[in-house]
Structure 1
Amino acid sequence: MKHDYAEVFSENVKFLIDLLGEPEEGELNYTGGRRALSRLEALRELKRLEDEGIITPPKKHGFVNVHVHTSESFSVFRSPAEAVWEAYRAGLEIFGINDHYTIAGHREFGEACKILGLRAVFSIEAIAMSEEARVRGERYNDPKNPGRIYLCGKGVIRDLEPGSPGYRLLKTMREALRKRYEKMTEKANEVLKSIDSSLNLTFDDVLRCTPRGNVTERHVAQAIAVLLRRRFPSLHDLRNFLQKLFGEVKIDLSSDEALQDLIRNELLKAGGPAYVEEPAEAFPSLENLVSMFREYGAIPTYPVLGNPITEREADLNSLFDELEGYGIFAIEVIPKRNTEDRLREILRAAEKRGFPVFNGTEHNTKSPQPLVDEFSRKPEFLRTFKRGAYLILGHQFLSKHAGVGYVDPAGNLTFKDRELGASFFSFLGRIIFPDDVLDWFRGIGEENTLKIALALYHILGDKGCCWRVKPGFRLPSDLLDAIKIVDWKGLQVKVEDPFEEKLKETVEAFFQEEI
């Protein structure tokens, strides 16, 4: 992204910040040349400079945003590391990657969050189709396309197993979309050549706009814009060409975003000369997409559009009934799309239903936007969004280390008591474990990890505060054996005498409360 450097940085710091968005060797958009540092190395150097007082640390506001796209799909952010740096400087506490059709950015994103001390949420997004709604002309959360349903898998903990149903489904979707964009590129090239025969657009040009080939329609528009700027460096000549192509052009051609939007809307969208109909194979049934997200170990989540109010979102209770039938028990909002009253209505309906609510900003265009919108700053809404973000963190932790998630493998809520389940997972998400303790959890097995999680909830309770655990936290085997699960789905645990006091003392010694 373009940096306006509202903060005063030295040239060396600016150089490091710019490195965060530069392609690296092995990525399709890498243009060659020797890098001084990798993106993560540049991030570590920036953190070192901050620790030494050369860069002023950002104010910590405790904001959350668990839905942001990166360069791995399409975004203003040129890399996951750049996105994390911007979130850190904006004072976020919890930050989430949410790319379309890929988790390729998760590793870099997680490492970047670790370097800067952000809590990382890992997610993925794809689009399903309700044939029944399409035929009836009824819209869900895509305001322009009846039947289409954007869906997220929040809290991804693993990749898909090669050959699994989810793996095959994702491959089918991506291959269908790629064929569409290849055909779209061919048609666009024919249109461009009809006006200027020296122009030549190939699909390789489009691929070079991505790090790993996860192409979107926006990448096709971007590749065309790059080609046209190279051919017509003069804005006057560029405008003349575009007017031959589209008629009168009134946009600011110095803006890359405006140029790409013009190309996309006039050339690539329905009715445009390079439009290619989207293949049915790209849009699986809701059942199959939900199942794929469960293979990722994620929480299937419906992003409520909110505004405009569509046919299927007009009655939120009816919508939530339908979602539950598919095993979807969580929703997400992009607050800036909504009015305050509509956002409040959505959150109240979700609270009544016992659905956690997650928030984000998307950032799936080239337009720089704040990572925290005005509604996500308001205490009234922030409380709900933070609880939702902590719930995902708790789900990620317990799924990885105890094999227990917010939703079970069959697609049911793990805890029938929804408030109890939300309280438990949000509580776990508020605990910050150091690496050595997480390694210890991996070594003691799932049953013992679950026992400890239940015992911690029993001792500390869900006070709404965070807990930072000191390195070295361990429980000896006799203390572990003394923890007995009475009814884990009721969060009931018993610690045999005389070990309960010893357990409390150990927890008090290693758990530091943070406001």
Structure 2
Amino acid sequence: MDYWTKFPAPDSLEEQSLKIEKPEKGHLPLINGHLHTPYSFSAFASAEQAIDLAAKENIKVAGINDFNTVNGYADWAKACLAHGIAPLFNIEMIGLNTEDQAQNLRVNDPSNPGRTYISGKGLSTNPLPDDVKNWLNIAVNKSNGQCEKMTQLLNNHLKANKAPFVLNFNEIYEQLTLGQVRERHIARALRLKVEETFPSEQEQMHFYKQITGEEISVSDPAIVENTLRGALLKAGGPAFIAEDPNAFADVDTIRNLILKAKGIPTYPFLGDALNGKCTDFEEELEITMKKLNERGFYSVEFITTRNSLSYLEETVPKLWNNGFLVTFGTEHNTAAMEPLVPKAKGGVALSENLLWINFQSVSIILAHQYLTAKTGYGWLDPTSGIPNMENKDKFIKIGWSIINSA
């Protein structure tokens, strides 16, 4: 699958880009750089649905960002091509920094010191190197094995509560996933089985109370699934299984996997999502930026619905001015179908300055994808992973040309 065959050679596109004026503030294209699909877990039934809804909201750039898989890239490219949307090809993984863990430092997982969510932006759409492909396959198999054990424990809990059914892991795998089972699939399978077994809402609520001890309103499927996941599958729940700390690669290994896949290692900020507070790792921005550079990260992202506008306006320009790409997304990795245009917490619109930084950063990633596909060289030095800052404006113009030509 090579999305980039529709575009001219680099010299031609670069010449074309010189004739295009950058958009002005107030007229920027709408962008969502982080969306999950059913290849991990998603609010969407398919990549086509995600892109169709994005087009209806007038989004011009959309990024697929599934956990541990690039299997959705072909579907994403096809849907984007059909709707005139420029695609970003991303991935998300989880690593562990043992030094942070030893110091009990929370990074961007508020519950697990040292554990670090990492995105790769702008991966190659060519076949992955064998070692990257093998690592991802192992990660998915481990996730599936973990969820199969959780399903067994959940069935034990259902039997103990005299439920008239149990769940079948193979059915969950075959009917609800595209190859990767996550906790949210188990919660969804349970909700669907309850609705199938108990026709009335009253019966459903009674059964949920029986197995969780909680009053659960059944009016919103997303809330039902989130509540079931929290009560039954998370720490303290009857189907919880502690993750093996040895199952996580170290952060540097994940960064190198992303570089091998021609992507840009990216740190997802949690920001002020913890009741207005940041994690230990993020609370002093100057120190955070220094540590990220030391760890080889020159790109960050925000799921902006977690963060206050004031926090974003204070933080994002500092990151951009210190050489970081900064992109925004919404994830959509729960059952809740929310708007796709990124906004701050509470549905507050992002400022033009924030959107301008996001636009420039995404343009660079689009140019990186295109140039890597056409020439083998992109935004990062292939050996050091250092960004090509001296050609920043050129990359932005090429990216803007790609958006215009999509």
TM-score normalised by structure 1 residue count: 0.69
Aligned residue among 187, 194, 200 for 1:228: 194
Offset at residue 232 of structure 1 (A): 1.3
Supply the distance in 2 between the matched residues of 1:381 and 1:326 (Cα, whole angstroms).
Answer: 25
Offset at residue 246 of structure 1 (A): 2.1
Supply the distance in 2 between the matched residues of 1:204 and 1:404 (Cα, whole angstroms).
Answer: 43
Which residue identity does 1:223 align to in structure 2?
Answer: A
Q: 3-state SS of the aligned residue for 2:66?
A: strand
Which residue identity does 1:107 align to in structure 2?
Answer: A
Identity, in percent, stands at 32
Name the counterpart of 1:202: 168
Alpha-carbon spacing, 1:115–1:197, altered in 2? closer, same or farther (3 Å): closer
> 1:421 aligned to 2:388?
no
Supply the distance in 1 between the matched residues of 2:343 and 2:129 (Cα, whole angstroms).
Answer: 42
1:103-502 superposed matches below 5 A = 103-158=70-125, 161=128, 163-164=130-131, 166-196=132-162, 198-249=164-215, 251-307=216-272, 308=274, 309-375=278-344, 377-415=350-388, 418=389, 420-432=390-402
Offset at residue 348 of structure 1 (A): 2.3
Which residue identity does 1:199 align to in structure 2?
Answer: F
Q: Alignment RMSD, CA only?
A: 1.9
Residue segments in structure 2 that go unaligned for 5+ positions in a row: 1-26
Offset at residue 161 of structure 1 (A): 4.1
Supply the distance in 1 between the matched residues of 2:373 and 2:115 (Cα, whole angstroms).
Answer: 32
- Whether the aligned pair in 1 keeps the contact of 2:33 and 2:64 (CA below 8 Å) is yes
Offset at residue 321 of structure 1 (A): 1.7
Offset at residue 248 of structure 1 (A): 4.0
Q: 3-state SS of the aligned residue for 1:208?
A: helix
Which residue identity does 1:343 align to in structure 2?
Answer: L
Greater length-normalized contact order (CA 8 Å, ≥ 6 residues apart): 2
Supply the distance in 2 between the matched residues of 1:111 and 1:151 (Cα, whole angstroms).
Answer: 26
1:81-106 CA distance string (max 9 Å, x none):
10000110001111111111111111
Supply the distance in 1 between the matched residues of 2:128 and 2:174 (Cα, whole angstroms).
Answer: 28
Supply the distance in 1 between the matched residues of 2:127 and 2:245 (Cα, whole angstroms).
Answer: 22
Supply the distance in 2 between the matched residues of 1:352 and 1:61 (Cα, whole angstroms).
Answer: 20
Aligned residues: 372
Supply the distance in 2 between the matched residues of 1:119 and 1:410 (Cα, whole angstroms).
Answer: 28
Residue segments in structure 1 that go unaligned for 5+ positions in a row: 1-59, 433-465, 470-515
Greater C-alpha Rg: 1
1:207-245 CA distance string (max 9 Å, x none):
135342211111111111111111112222222222222
TM-score normalised by structure 2 residue count: 0.87
Supply the distance in 1 between the matched residues of 2:51 and 2:405 (Cα, whole angstroms).
Answer: 21
Which residue identity does 2:289 align to in structure 1?
Answer: F
- Whether the aligned pair in 2 keeps the contact of 1:176 and 1:279 (CA below 8 Å) is no
Offset at residue 405 of structure 1 (A): 1.1
1:67-78 superposed matches below 5 A = 67-78=34-45
Q: 3-state SS of the aligned residue for 1:99?
A: coil
Q: 3-state SS of the aligned residue for 1:259?
A: helix
1:330-373 CA distance string (max 9 Å, x none):
11112221112211222122123111111111111111111113
Which residue identity does 1:412 align to in structure 2?
Answer: G
1:465-509 CA distance string (max 9 Å, x none):
x7659xxxxxxxxxxxxxxxxxxxxxxxxxxxxxxxxxxxxxxxx
Which residue identity does 2:393 align to in structure 1?
Answer: S
Name the counterpart of 2:7: none
Which residue identity does 1:384 align to in structure 2?
Answer: I
Offset at residue 290 of structure 1 (A): 0.5
Name the counterpart of 1:437: none
Offset at residue 117 of structure 1 (A): 0.6
Supply the distance in 2 between the matched residues of 1:192 and 1:371 (Cα, whole angstroms).
Answer: 37
Supply the distance in 2 between the matched residues of 1:228 and 1:209 (Cα, whole angstroms).
Answer: 16
